[in-house]
Structure 1
Amino acid sequence: MALPQGANSCQLAGFTLATLGWILTITSMGLVEWRVWHIGNTSLSHSRAVCVGMWKVCIYHHAPNANRSTLCYHYTQEDTYIPLDIRICQNLLLVASILGLMGRVSTIFALKNVCVGSVQRNATLGPLVSGILDIAAGICVLIPVIWNYHSVMNEEGIAFPPFLSLPFKPDTQELGSAILVAGLSAIMMLSSGLIFLFYRCPIARQVQPQTSEM
Protein backbone atom coordinates (compact mmCIF):
# COMPACT_ATOMS: atom_id res chain seq x y z
CA MET A 1 0.00 0.00 0.00
CA ALA A 2 1.37 3.46 -0.84
CA LEU A 3 2.28 5.86 1.94
CA PRO A 4 -0.56 8.36 2.51
CA GLN A 5 0.15 11.97 1.60
CA GLY A 6 -0.35 13.16 5.19
CA ALA A 7 2.14 10.64 6.51
CA ASN A 8 4.55 11.55 3.74
CA SER A 9 4.57 15.24 4.66
CA CYS A 10 4.55 14.84 8.44
CA GLN A 11 6.39 11.68 9.37
CA LEU A 12 9.11 11.94 6.74
CA ALA A 13 9.76 15.59 7.65
CA GLY A 14 9.96 14.67 11.33
CA PHE A 15 12.19 11.70 10.59
CA THR A 16 14.57 13.85 8.52
CA LEU A 17 14.80 16.57 11.18
CA ALA A 18 15.35 14.08 13.99
CA THR A 19 17.97 12.12 12.06
CA LEU A 20 19.96 15.26 11.27
CA GLY A 21 19.60 16.39 14.88
CA TRP A 22 20.78 13.01 16.15
CA ILE A 23 23.84 13.14 13.87
CA LEU A 24 24.65 16.66 15.08
CA THR A 25 24.29 15.50 18.69
CA ILE A 26 26.89 12.78 18.18
CA THR A 27 29.10 15.27 16.31
CA SER A 28 28.95 17.79 19.16
CA MET A 29 29.99 15.10 21.62
CA GLY A 30 33.24 14.64 19.71
CA LEU A 31 34.00 18.35 19.41
CA VAL A 32 36.26 19.97 21.97
CA GLU A 33 35.25 23.60 21.35
CA TRP A 34 32.51 23.90 23.99
CA ARG A 35 34.35 26.63 25.87
CA VAL A 36 37.28 28.55 24.39
CA TRP A 37 39.74 30.14 26.81
CA HIS A 38 42.27 32.79 25.80
CA ILE A 39 45.36 33.11 28.00
CA GLY A 40 47.88 35.88 27.38
CA ASN A 41 51.66 35.86 27.60
CA THR A 42 53.27 35.25 30.98
CA SER A 43 56.86 35.08 32.18
CA LEU A 44 56.68 31.29 31.92
CA SER A 45 54.73 30.70 28.72
CA HIS A 46 53.46 32.26 25.51
CA SER A 47 49.84 33.02 24.74
CA ARG A 48 47.56 30.02 24.53
CA ALA A 49 44.09 29.08 23.41
CA VAL A 50 42.40 26.38 25.47
CA CYS A 51 39.40 24.45 24.19
CA VAL A 52 37.42 22.85 27.00
CA GLY A 53 35.28 19.97 25.77
CA MET A 54 33.00 17.45 27.38
CA TRP A 55 35.56 14.65 27.37
CA LYS A 56 38.91 16.37 26.89
CA VAL A 57 40.77 19.67 26.99
CA CYS A 58 43.14 20.84 24.26
CA ILE A 59 45.83 23.50 24.67
CA TYR A 60 47.13 25.36 21.62
CA HIS A 61 50.42 27.20 22.18
CA HIS A 62 51.14 30.26 20.05
CA ALA A 63 54.92 30.55 20.12
CA PRO A 64 56.50 33.19 17.85
CA ASN A 65 58.58 31.92 14.91
CA ALA A 66 57.45 28.35 15.61
CA ASN A 67 54.73 25.96 14.59
CA ARG A 68 51.70 25.89 16.85
CA SER A 69 51.89 22.98 19.26
CA THR A 70 48.88 21.17 20.63
CA LEU A 71 48.40 19.20 23.83
CA CYS A 72 45.16 17.31 24.46
CA TYR A 73 44.25 15.57 27.69
CA HIS A 74 41.31 13.18 27.97
CA TYR A 75 39.38 13.24 31.23
CA THR A 76 39.26 10.11 33.35
CA GLN A 77 36.95 8.92 36.11
CA GLU A 78 39.73 9.65 38.61
CA ASP A 79 39.89 13.34 37.69
CA THR A 80 38.18 14.95 40.66
CA TYR A 81 38.77 18.47 39.33
CA ILE A 82 36.15 18.08 36.60
CA PRO A 83 33.23 20.39 37.48
CA LEU A 84 29.88 18.83 38.31
CA ASP A 85 28.22 20.56 35.36
CA ILE A 86 30.56 18.86 32.88
CA ARG A 87 29.98 15.46 34.52
CA ILE A 88 26.22 15.89 34.31
CA CYS A 89 26.39 17.17 30.73
CA GLN A 90 28.44 14.13 29.72
CA ASN A 91 25.68 11.83 30.94
CA LEU A 92 22.93 13.95 29.38
CA LEU A 93 24.60 13.83 25.96
CA LEU A 94 25.03 10.07 26.20
CA VAL A 95 21.35 9.69 27.13
CA ALA A 96 20.38 11.98 24.24
CA SER A 97 22.28 9.84 21.73
CA ILE A 98 20.56 6.68 23.01
CA LEU A 99 17.11 8.29 23.00
CA GLY A 100 17.75 9.60 19.50
CA LEU A 101 18.60 6.11 18.28
CA MET A 102 15.46 4.69 19.89
CA GLY A 103 13.41 7.45 18.29
CA ARG A 104 14.77 6.58 14.84
CA VAL A 105 13.87 2.93 15.29
CA SER A 106 10.38 3.88 16.49
CA THR A 107 9.86 6.16 13.50
CA ILE A 108 10.91 3.46 11.05
CA PHE A 109 8.34 1.08 12.55
CA ALA A 110 5.70 3.84 12.44
CA LEU A 111 6.35 4.47 8.76
CA LYS A 112 6.19 0.75 8.12
CA ASN A 113 2.81 0.51 9.88
CA VAL A 114 1.40 3.29 7.72
CA CYS A 115 2.75 1.69 4.56
CA VAL A 116 1.09 -1.64 5.28
CA GLY A 117 -2.17 0.05 6.33
CA SER A 118 -2.20 -0.65 10.06
CA VAL A 119 -5.24 0.22 12.11
CA GLN A 120 -5.59 3.75 13.44
CA ARG A 121 -4.45 2.94 16.99
CA ASN A 122 -1.20 1.27 15.96
CA ALA A 123 -0.52 3.85 13.27
CA THR A 124 -0.70 6.77 15.74
CA LEU A 125 1.14 5.05 18.59
CA GLY A 126 4.45 4.98 16.69
CA PRO A 127 4.57 8.74 16.00
CA LEU A 128 3.56 9.43 19.61
CA VAL A 129 6.45 7.34 20.97
CA SER A 130 8.85 8.91 18.46
CA GLY A 131 7.74 12.39 19.48
CA ILE A 132 8.25 11.72 23.19
CA LEU A 133 11.71 10.23 22.57
CA ASP A 134 12.77 13.11 20.32
CA ILE A 135 11.61 15.77 22.77
CA ALA A 136 13.37 13.99 25.64
CA ALA A 137 16.55 13.78 23.56
CA GLY A 138 16.27 17.44 22.60
CA ILE A 139 15.93 18.47 26.24
CA CYS A 140 18.95 16.35 27.17
CA VAL A 141 20.98 18.27 24.57
CA LEU A 142 19.52 21.67 25.38
CA ILE A 143 20.50 21.48 29.06
CA PRO A 144 24.27 21.19 28.33
CA VAL A 145 23.98 24.05 25.82
CA ILE A 146 22.31 26.37 28.34
CA TRP A 147 24.59 25.24 31.18
CA ASN A 148 27.77 25.88 29.19
CA TYR A 149 26.42 29.21 27.99
CA HIS A 150 25.78 30.19 31.60
CA SER A 151 29.28 29.07 32.65
CA VAL A 152 30.95 31.12 29.91
CA MET A 153 28.84 34.22 30.50
CA ASN A 154 29.64 34.07 34.23
CA GLU A 155 33.34 33.41 33.51
CA GLU A 156 33.44 30.33 35.69
CA GLY A 157 36.84 28.69 36.15
CA ILE A 158 38.14 25.13 36.33
CA ALA A 159 40.92 23.94 38.63
CA PHE A 160 42.93 21.91 36.11
CA PRO A 161 45.82 19.77 37.42
CA PRO A 162 49.24 21.47 37.76
CA PHE A 163 50.88 19.53 34.91
CA LEU A 164 48.63 21.33 32.41
CA SER A 165 49.91 24.72 33.64
CA LEU A 166 46.53 26.38 33.29
CA PRO A 167 45.13 29.14 35.50
CA PHE A 168 41.84 28.70 37.32
CA LYS A 169 40.31 31.35 35.07
CA PRO A 170 41.49 32.60 31.67
CA ASP A 171 41.94 36.20 30.63
CA THR A 172 38.87 35.87 28.45
CA GLN A 173 36.59 33.04 27.42
CA GLU A 174 33.94 32.62 24.76
CA LEU A 175 31.45 30.14 23.39
CA GLY A 176 32.84 27.50 21.07
CA SER A 177 31.47 26.04 17.86
CA ALA A 178 30.34 22.86 19.65
CA ILE A 179 27.63 24.83 21.45
CA LEU A 180 26.27 26.05 18.12
CA VAL A 181 26.23 22.50 16.74
CA ALA A 182 24.54 21.15 19.87
CA GLY A 183 22.05 24.03 19.92
CA LEU A 184 21.04 23.35 16.32
CA SER A 185 20.74 19.67 17.20
CA ALA A 186 18.42 20.43 20.12
CA ILE A 187 16.20 22.64 17.94
CA MET A 188 15.91 19.92 15.30
CA MET A 189 15.11 17.21 17.84
CA LEU A 190 12.49 19.33 19.61
CA SER A 191 10.91 20.38 16.31
CA SER A 192 10.74 16.77 15.18
CA GLY A 193 9.16 15.75 18.48
CA LEU A 194 6.46 18.40 18.15
CA ILE A 195 5.74 17.28 14.59
CA PHE A 196 5.21 13.71 15.75
CA LEU A 197 3.16 14.66 18.82
CA PHE A 198 0.72 16.79 16.83
CA TYR A 199 0.66 14.37 13.91
CA ARG A 200 -2.67 12.74 13.15
CA CYS A 201 -2.43 9.69 11.01
CA PRO A 202 -4.96 9.74 8.19
CA ILE A 203 -7.38 6.88 8.23
CA ALA A 204 -5.92 4.25 6.01
CA ARG A 205 -8.21 3.29 3.23
CA GLN A 206 -8.41 -0.43 3.05
CA VAL A 207 -9.01 -1.70 -0.45
CA GLN A 208 -11.86 -4.14 -0.26
CA PRO A 209 -12.61 -6.48 -3.17
CA GLN A 210 -15.92 -5.64 -4.80
CA THR A 211 -18.33 -8.48 -5.38
CA SER A 212 -21.16 -8.28 -7.82
CA GLU A 213 -24.51 -9.66 -6.86
CA MET A 214 -25.71 -12.40 -9.14
Structure 2
Amino acid sequence: MAYLAHTAHYQFLGLVMGILGWILTFCSVGINEWRLWYVSDDSVITSGVAWVGVFRACFYSHVISNMAERCRFMAITDSFLPTDIIVTQILIMTAVVMGLFSNVTAGYAMRKVYFGLGKRRSINMAFWSAGTLYMLTATCSYVSLFWNVAAVLNNQTITFPPEYDFPPAPMSQGVGSGVGVGIGAASMIALSGLLFLTYRYPKMAVERKAQASDEPSTHLADSKPRVSVGLRSISEDREESNAKAGEDNPAFELQESP
Protein backbone atom coordinates (compact mmCIF):
# COMPACT_ATOMS: atom_id res chain seq x y z
CA MET A 1 0.00 0.00 0.00
CA ALA A 2 2.91 2.36 -0.63
CA TYR A 3 0.81 4.23 -3.18
CA LEU A 4 -1.20 5.77 -0.30
CA ALA A 5 1.70 8.16 0.29
CA HIS A 6 0.90 9.89 -3.01
CA THR A 7 -2.55 10.88 -1.68
CA ALA A 8 -1.23 12.89 1.29
CA HIS A 9 1.13 15.46 -0.23
CA TYR A 10 -1.04 18.40 0.84
CA GLN A 11 -1.38 16.93 4.31
CA PHE A 12 2.41 16.71 4.61
CA LEU A 13 2.54 20.40 3.74
CA GLY A 14 -0.11 20.95 6.40
CA LEU A 15 2.05 19.16 8.97
CA VAL A 16 5.00 21.42 8.15
CA MET A 17 2.82 24.53 8.43
CA GLY A 18 1.32 23.23 11.67
CA ILE A 19 4.76 22.81 13.22
CA LEU A 20 5.87 26.28 12.07
CA GLY A 21 2.61 27.80 13.29
CA TRP A 22 3.03 26.16 16.69
CA ILE A 23 6.58 27.51 17.00
CA LEU A 24 5.42 31.01 16.05
CA THR A 25 2.56 30.78 18.54
CA PHE A 26 5.07 29.90 21.25
CA CYS A 27 7.25 32.83 20.14
CA SER A 28 4.33 35.28 20.21
CA VAL A 29 3.84 34.50 23.91
CA GLY A 30 7.35 35.77 24.61
CA ILE A 31 6.91 38.98 22.60
CA ASN A 32 6.01 41.91 24.84
CA GLU A 33 4.60 44.13 22.09
CA TRP A 34 0.95 43.07 22.08
CA ARG A 35 -0.31 46.52 23.03
CA LEU A 36 1.63 49.71 22.44
CA TRP A 37 0.88 52.43 25.00
CA TYR A 38 1.74 55.92 23.76
CA VAL A 39 2.12 58.22 26.76
CA SER A 40 2.47 61.99 26.87
CA ASP A 41 4.46 62.14 30.12
CA ASP A 42 8.01 61.07 29.38
CA SER A 43 9.43 61.81 32.80
CA VAL A 44 9.61 58.09 33.58
CA ILE A 45 8.90 56.40 30.25
CA THR A 46 11.44 58.43 28.32
CA SER A 47 10.81 56.66 25.02
CA GLY A 48 7.14 57.68 25.16
CA VAL A 49 6.03 54.12 24.39
CA ALA A 50 5.31 51.24 26.78
CA TRP A 51 4.65 47.63 25.83
CA VAL A 52 2.01 45.40 27.34
CA GLY A 53 2.31 41.73 26.47
CA VAL A 54 0.63 38.57 27.70
CA PHE A 55 2.73 38.07 30.82
CA ARG A 56 4.90 41.20 31.01
CA ALA A 57 4.63 44.98 30.85
CA CYS A 58 7.82 46.81 29.80
CA PHE A 59 9.21 50.21 28.87
CA TYR A 60 12.56 51.95 28.41
CA SER A 61 13.70 54.56 30.89
CA HIS A 62 17.09 56.17 31.57
CA VAL A 63 15.72 57.72 34.78
CA ILE A 64 15.17 54.42 36.60
CA SER A 65 17.60 51.99 35.07
CA ASN A 66 19.91 53.92 32.74
CA MET A 67 18.06 53.28 29.45
CA ALA A 68 17.62 49.59 30.23
CA GLU A 69 14.36 47.79 29.63
CA ARG A 70 12.24 47.67 32.75
CA CYS A 71 9.74 44.81 32.88
CA ARG A 72 7.17 43.61 35.37
CA PHE A 73 5.60 40.17 35.37
CA MET A 74 1.80 39.92 35.23
CA ALA A 75 0.43 36.79 36.91
CA ILE A 76 -3.02 35.42 36.34
CA THR A 77 -3.75 35.89 40.06
CA ASP A 78 -3.12 39.65 39.99
CA SER A 79 -6.31 41.45 40.91
CA PHE A 80 -5.65 44.50 38.73
CA LEU A 81 -5.62 42.56 35.47
CA PRO A 82 -8.70 42.99 33.26
CA THR A 83 -10.69 40.03 32.00
CA ASP A 84 -9.23 40.16 28.48
CA ILE A 85 -5.66 39.78 29.77
CA ILE A 86 -6.62 36.86 32.03
CA VAL A 87 -8.51 35.09 29.24
CA THR A 88 -5.60 35.71 26.87
CA GLN A 89 -3.15 34.11 29.27
CA ILE A 90 -5.35 31.02 29.57
CA LEU A 91 -6.23 30.66 25.89
CA ILE A 92 -2.78 31.31 24.48
CA MET A 93 -1.19 28.70 26.75
CA THR A 94 -4.01 26.29 25.88
CA ALA A 95 -3.20 26.89 22.22
CA VAL A 96 0.47 26.12 22.83
CA VAL A 97 -0.29 22.82 24.60
CA MET A 98 -3.02 21.83 22.15
CA GLY A 99 -0.76 22.69 19.21
CA LEU A 100 1.80 20.22 20.50
CA PHE A 101 -0.81 17.44 20.62
CA SER A 102 -2.02 18.47 17.16
CA ASN A 103 1.44 18.03 15.66
CA VAL A 104 1.90 14.66 17.35
CA THR A 105 -1.48 13.44 16.06
CA ALA A 106 -0.76 14.75 12.57
CA GLY A 107 2.62 13.00 12.53
CA TYR A 108 0.94 9.78 13.62
CA ALA A 109 -1.60 10.11 10.79
CA MET A 110 1.13 10.71 8.21
CA ARG A 111 3.03 7.67 9.49
CA LYS A 112 -0.04 5.47 8.98
CA VAL A 113 -0.37 6.65 5.39
CA TYR A 114 3.30 6.46 4.45
CA PHE A 115 3.75 2.96 5.89
CA GLY A 116 0.30 1.67 4.99
CA LEU A 117 -0.65 0.92 8.59
CA GLY A 118 -4.24 0.40 9.62
CA LYS A 119 -7.47 0.22 7.73
CA ARG A 120 -9.50 2.92 6.05
CA ARG A 121 -11.48 3.90 9.15
CA SER A 122 -8.45 4.20 11.43
CA ILE A 123 -6.53 6.31 8.91
CA ASN A 124 -9.47 8.65 8.35
CA MET A 125 -9.98 8.99 12.10
CA ALA A 126 -6.32 9.92 12.59
CA PHE A 127 -6.53 12.66 9.96
CA TRP A 128 -9.85 13.99 11.27
CA SER A 129 -8.51 14.06 14.83
CA ALA A 130 -5.44 16.01 13.76
CA GLY A 131 -7.55 18.47 11.76
CA THR A 132 -9.95 19.00 14.66
CA LEU A 133 -7.12 19.65 17.11
CA TYR A 134 -5.52 22.11 14.68
CA MET A 135 -8.80 24.00 14.32
CA LEU A 136 -9.29 24.15 18.10
CA THR A 137 -5.74 25.45 18.49
CA ALA A 138 -6.33 28.17 15.91
CA THR A 139 -9.64 29.11 17.56
CA CYS A 140 -7.99 29.59 20.96
CA SER A 141 -5.34 31.80 19.38
CA TYR A 142 -7.82 33.85 17.36
CA VAL A 143 -10.06 34.57 20.35
CA SER A 144 -7.17 35.82 22.49
CA LEU A 145 -5.62 37.83 19.65
CA PHE A 146 -8.74 39.60 18.41
CA TRP A 147 -9.92 40.31 21.94
CA ASN A 148 -6.68 42.22 22.48
CA VAL A 149 -7.14 44.02 19.17
CA ALA A 150 -10.62 45.09 20.29
CA ALA A 151 -9.18 46.39 23.58
CA VAL A 152 -6.60 48.40 21.65
CA LEU A 153 -9.20 49.90 19.31
CA ASN A 154 -11.39 50.86 22.26
CA ASN A 155 -8.35 52.28 24.09
CA GLN A 156 -9.09 50.25 27.20
CA THR A 157 -6.71 50.89 30.05
CA ILE A 158 -5.17 48.73 32.76
CA THR A 159 -4.90 50.03 36.31
CA PHE A 160 -1.33 49.07 37.13
CA PRO A 161 -0.07 49.29 40.73
CA PRO A 162 2.33 52.19 41.53
CA GLU A 163 5.40 49.95 41.54
CA TYR A 164 4.86 49.27 37.83
CA ASP A 165 5.50 52.99 37.07
CA PHE A 166 2.82 52.97 34.37
CA PRO A 167 0.53 55.95 33.75
CA PRO A 168 -3.14 55.60 34.69
CA ALA A 169 -4.16 55.56 31.04
CA PRO A 170 -2.38 55.84 27.69
CA MET A 171 -2.86 58.75 25.35
CA SER A 172 -3.47 56.26 22.55
CA GLN A 173 -2.79 52.63 21.80
CA GLY A 174 -1.52 50.60 18.89
CA VAL A 175 -1.32 46.94 17.91
CA GLY A 176 2.11 45.47 18.49
CA SER A 177 4.16 42.95 16.55
CA GLY A 178 3.20 40.13 18.91
CA VAL A 179 -0.38 40.23 17.64
CA GLY A 180 0.79 40.13 14.03
CA VAL A 181 2.99 37.11 14.68
CA GLY A 182 0.15 35.40 16.54
CA ILE A 183 -2.38 36.00 13.76
CA GLY A 184 0.03 34.67 11.16
CA ALA A 185 0.70 31.58 13.27
CA ALA A 186 -3.01 30.96 13.89
CA SER A 187 -3.73 31.27 10.16
CA MET A 188 -1.08 28.68 9.33
CA ILE A 189 -2.51 26.30 11.94
CA ALA A 190 -6.06 26.82 10.66
CA LEU A 191 -4.96 26.07 7.10
CA SER A 192 -3.26 22.91 8.35
CA GLY A 193 -6.49 21.87 10.03
CA LEU A 194 -8.47 22.35 6.82
CA LEU A 195 -5.98 20.27 4.84
CA PHE A 196 -6.21 17.40 7.31
CA LEU A 197 -9.98 17.55 7.51
CA THR A 198 -10.31 17.36 3.72
CA TYR A 199 -8.26 14.17 3.41
CA ARG A 200 -10.16 11.21 1.97
CA TYR A 201 -8.99 7.63 1.80
CA PRO A 202 -8.76 6.69 -1.92
CA LYS A 203 -11.45 4.34 -3.24
CA MET A 204 -8.87 2.67 -5.46
CA ALA A 205 -7.26 1.18 -2.36
CA VAL A 206 -10.54 -0.41 -1.31
CA GLU A 207 -11.13 -1.84 -4.79
CA ARG A 208 -7.64 -3.32 -4.94
CA LYS A 209 -8.11 -4.92 -1.52
CA ALA A 210 -11.36 -6.47 -2.68
CA GLN A 211 -9.75 -7.79 -5.83
CA ALA A 212 -6.82 -9.20 -3.85
CA SER A 213 -9.21 -10.98 -1.48
CA ASP A 214 -11.27 -12.42 -4.36
CA GLU A 215 -8.34 -13.78 -6.37
CA PRO A 216 -7.46 -16.77 -4.11
CA SER A 217 -11.08 -17.93 -3.85
CA THR A 218 -11.51 -17.62 -7.61
CA HIS A 219 -8.36 -19.62 -8.19
CA LEU A 220 -9.51 -22.37 -5.87
CA ALA A 221 -12.96 -22.40 -7.44
CA ASP A 222 -11.43 -22.74 -10.88
CA SER A 223 -9.01 -25.43 -9.79
CA LYS A 224 -11.56 -27.67 -8.11
CA PRO A 225 -13.43 -28.63 -11.30
CA ARG A 226 -10.14 -29.38 -13.00
CA VAL A 227 -9.11 -31.73 -10.21
CA SER A 228 -12.53 -33.41 -10.19
CA VAL A 229 -12.44 -33.78 -13.94
CA GLY A 230 -9.01 -35.30 -13.73
CA LEU A 231 -10.09 -37.72 -11.02
CA ARG A 232 -13.22 -38.60 -12.96
CA SER A 233 -11.24 -39.41 -16.08
CA ILE A 234 -8.84 -41.58 -14.14
CA SER A 235 -11.69 -43.55 -12.55
CA GLU A 236 -13.34 -43.98 -15.93
CA ASP A 237 -10.09 -45.26 -17.40
CA ARG A 238 -9.76 -47.72 -14.56
CA GLU A 239 -13.32 -48.97 -15.05
CA GLU A 240 -12.72 -49.40 -18.74
CA SER A 241 -9.51 -51.33 -18.12
CA ASN A 242 -11.23 -53.54 -15.55
CA ALA A 243 -14.09 -54.17 -17.93
CA LYS A 244 -11.68 -55.14 -20.65
CA ALA A 245 -9.81 -57.36 -18.24
CA GLY A 246 -13.06 -59.18 -17.36
CA GLU A 247 -14.10 -60.00 -20.96
CA ASP A 248 -13.95 -63.60 -22.11
CA ASN A 249 -11.03 -64.64 -24.24
CA PRO A 250 -12.28 -65.59 -27.77
CA ALA A 251 -9.63 -68.32 -28.11
CA PHE A 252 -10.81 -69.92 -24.91
CA GLU A 253 -14.36 -69.98 -26.19
CA LEU A 254 -13.23 -71.72 -29.34
CA GLN A 255 -11.49 -74.46 -27.38
CA GLU A 256 -14.56 -75.18 -25.26
CA SER A 257 -16.95 -75.46 -28.16
CA PRO A 258 -17.36 -79.03 -29.57
Which is richer in helix? 2
Structure showing greater radius of gyration is 2
Task: Measure the CA separation in 1 of the matches of 2:44 and 2:37.
Answer: 18
Where does residue 26 of structure 2 map in the other structure? 26
**Given the superposition, is the C-alpha separation of residues 62 and 40 from structure 1 closer, same or farther in structure 2, using an over 3 Å criterion?**
farther
Give the partner amino acid of 1:102.
F
- CA deviation after TM superposition for structure 1 residue 31, in Å: 0.8
Aligned to 1:94: 93
Cα 1:28/1:47, change in 2 over 3 Å = closer
Distance 1:33 1:52 in 2: 6
CA distance in 1, matches of 2:85, 2:160: 13
* One-letter amino acid of the structure 1 residue matched with residue 103 of structure 2: R
Q: Give the Cα–Cα distance (whole angstroms) in 2 for the partners of residues 189 and 163 of structure 1.
A: 39
Are residues 186 and 78 of structure 1, via their aligned partners in 2, closer, same or farther at CA, if it must alter by over 3 Å? Answer: closer
Question: How do 1:137-176 and structure 2 match up within 5 A?
Answer: 137-176=137-176
SS across alignment from 1:173: strand
Write the mapping of 1:184-203 to structure 2, written as runs, cut at 5 A. Answer: 184-203=184-203
Work out the CA distance in 1 between the residues paired with 2:97 and 2:30: 15
In the alignment, structure 2 segments of 5+ residues that lack a partner are 224-258
Q: SS of 1:105's equivalent?
A: helix
* CA RMSD of superposed structures (Å): 2.5
> Is the contact between residue 61 and residue 67 of structure 2 (CA under 8 Å) also seen in structure 1?
yes
Following superposition, the deviation at residue 67 of structure 1 comes to 5.8
**Residue 169 to residue 41, structure 1, CA distance change in 2 (3 Å):** closer
Bigger relative CO (Cα 8 Å, ≥ 6 apart): 1
Identity value in percent: 33
d(CA) in 2 for partners of 1:192 and 1:179? 20
The change in CA–CA distance for 1:47 and 1:40 in structure 2 (over 3 A counts) is farther
Which residue identity does 1:31 align to in structure 2?
I
Q: What is the identity, as a one-letter code, of the residue corresponding to 1:101?
A: L
Aligned residue for 2:5? 4
* Cα distance in 2 between the residues matched to 1:61 and 1:78: 27
- What residue number does 2:181 align with? 181
Name the CA distance, whole Å, in 2 between partners of 1:109 and 1:130: 9
Note closer, same or farther for the CA distance 1:103–1:171 as it changes in structure 2 (3 Å cut).
same
1:78-129 deviation per Cα after TM superposition (whole angstroms, max 9, x unaligned): 4211111111111101111111111111111111111232311111111100
Structure 1: gaps of 5 or more residues: none
Describe the superposition over 1:50-89 as per-residue Cα deviations: whole angstroms up to 9, x where unpaired. Answer: 11010011111267xx963321011234421111111111
CA gap 1:43/1:131 in 2 versus in 1, 3 angstroms: closer
Please tell me the residue identity of whatever aligns with 1:116.
Answer: F
Q: CA deviation at 1:168?
A: 2.2
The alignment covers a number of residue pairs equal to 211
Deviations 1:12-62 (A, max 9, x none): 011111111111110111111100112123567645321101001111126
What TM-score comes out, normalization by structure 1 length? 0.88
Structure 2 Cα separation of the partners of residues 105 and 185 of structure 1: 17
Q: State the Cα distance separating 1:150 from its structure 2 match.
A: 0.3
